Amino acid sequence: MTGINLANPHEYDHRHANVSSGWLRASVFGAMDGLVSNLGLVAGIAAAGAAPHFVAITGISGLIAGAISMALGEFTSVRAANEQLAAEVRIEREAHLRNPEGEKAELTALLENLGVESQIAKLAAEQVHENADQAVRVHLLSELGMSPEDQPSPWVAAISSFLSFAVGALIPIIPFFFGFGTLGLGLAFGGVGLLIAGGLAARFTRRNWLAGAARQLLFGGIAVAATYSIGTLFGVATA
């Protein structure tokens, strides 16, 4: 075909986002969690009859505690996943040292199952196994769908989740900082935040932004309805 560079389609046809760095999932999850949890918290305590300054204090406490919890949880989970992958790499390397011919036969069979002719599959397996690191990588990709390089930074995940949770949790309590906080305004701010967060998450994942925004607003609304009902049920008497 003339006029088209066939050397590297990523230079002219399409590009992929970096899905292994760990920051996107942590940021999206943190922002959504911060918004929904603090919005629900504010709705529940306000429905129970708490004064605006108590609502603000509760919201700030929820922000700090939630952000720290999110950061610690993300750090621990990402580090544990990386350690598990490292253990699988060691297991695969040891298997290649113990039984190299068996590993070659395994890769040959895999290629044959993918439709590669037997002789070509055997030759390809031989060539792959000439490089021990590459052989381990190919086997892990075929057996686990993972690569030794797929190890996001736990620090990036922790910091991303901390900051995004804090931003999300801050939105519903913004009106209370300026002395005009009411439950209605808090819910309005939170609703706008849910729409924006849902829309941005959808854009990152190349889905319809309007559907993503509406879905997140629906989920947040369910949480608010639940906590508001509980706050009303156990409401305190006000003077």
CA dist 126 and 130 (Å) reads: 7
144-160 residue pLDDT tens: 777 777 788 899 889 98
Could you tell me if residue 16 is inside a domain? no
In which domain, by residue range, is 97 found? 22-233
As to burial, measured by CB atoms within 10 angstroms (0-12 exposed, 13-18 middle, 19+ buried), residue 49 is middle
Q: How many domains does the chain have?
A: 1
104-118 residue pLDDT tens: 888 888 888 888 888
Q: Which of 35, 45, 56 is nearest to 220 (CA)?
A: 35
* Residue bearing the bigger pLDDT, 19 or 167: 167
- The pLDDT mean for the chain works out to 82
Percent of the chain with pLDDT over 70: 87
Query: 65: pLDDT confidence band, cut at 50, 70 and 90?
Result: very high
Could you tell me if residue 55 is inside a domain? yes
Which residues, at least 6 apart from 202, have a Cβ–Cβ distance to it below 8 Å? 208, 209, 210, 211, 212, 213
Q: What is the pLDDT of residue 16?
A: 45
Could you tell me if residue 176 is inside a domain? yes
Rounded to two decimals, the pTM is 0.73
Query: Is 135 within 8 Å of 48 (Cβ atoms)?
Result: no
Structure tokens at 93: 């390397």
